[in-house]
């Protein structure tokens, strides 16, 4: 079973995927609370439920799933997941200076166009930063 099958059952179908079946333990193993919490945190009507489950992360997976299943109203919800942007300049500065992505973004704000060109030239020619 896929992680988003659980999210779909919570949001729309309301079918309990962990209900006393032969694959009960397998269904509970496949449930990933982090992904469910993250996907439900994108909507204003389910955000507080996701926050509550983050507070009680230590509960059994089945309890978390059934809390969502019985608390959240049936509604078709869809949101694109926020992904990190793979900016070439950020990656270049990150590799050149051995910075984290956050520091590389901050450094890009300070670097001039000429300095960026020099870094790009050095990276293309394989010249190491000394």
Average pLDDT, the chain: 88
Q: Are residues 112 and 62 in the same domain?
A: no
Q: Are residues 119 and 64 in the same domain?
A: no
Domain of 121 in residue numbering reads as: 88-125
For the full predicted model, state whether its pTM sits above 0.85: no
| pLDDT score recorded for residue 128 | 62
Residue 14 and residue 64 in one domain: yes
Q: Which residues contact 72 (CB under 8 A, 6 or more apart)?
A: 10, 11, 40, 45, 46, 49
**Does residue 22 have a pLDDT over 80?**
no
Q: How many domains does the chain have?
A: 2
User: For a pLDDT cut of 70, what percent of the chain falls above it?
Assistant: 91
Q: What is the DSSP letter of 79?
A: -
Alpha-carbon distance of 77 to 43, in angstroms, equals 8
């Amino acid at each position: 079973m896929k992680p988003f099958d659980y999210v779909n059952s919570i949001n729309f179908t309301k079918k309990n995927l962990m209900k006393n079946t032969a694959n009960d333990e397998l269904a509970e193993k496949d449930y990933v609370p982090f992904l469910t919490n993250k996907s439900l945190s994108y909507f204003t009507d389910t955000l507080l439920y996701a926050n509550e489950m983050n507070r009680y992360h230590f509960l059994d997976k089945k309890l978390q799933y059934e809390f969502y299943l019985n608390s959240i109203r049936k509604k078709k919800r869809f949101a694109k997941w926020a992904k990190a942007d793979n900016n070439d300049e950020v990656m270049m500065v990150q590799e050149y200076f051995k910075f984290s992505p956050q520091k590389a973004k901050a450094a890009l704000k300070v670097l001039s166009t000429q300095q960026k060109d020099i870094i790009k030239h050095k990276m293309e020619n394989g010249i190491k930063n000394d």
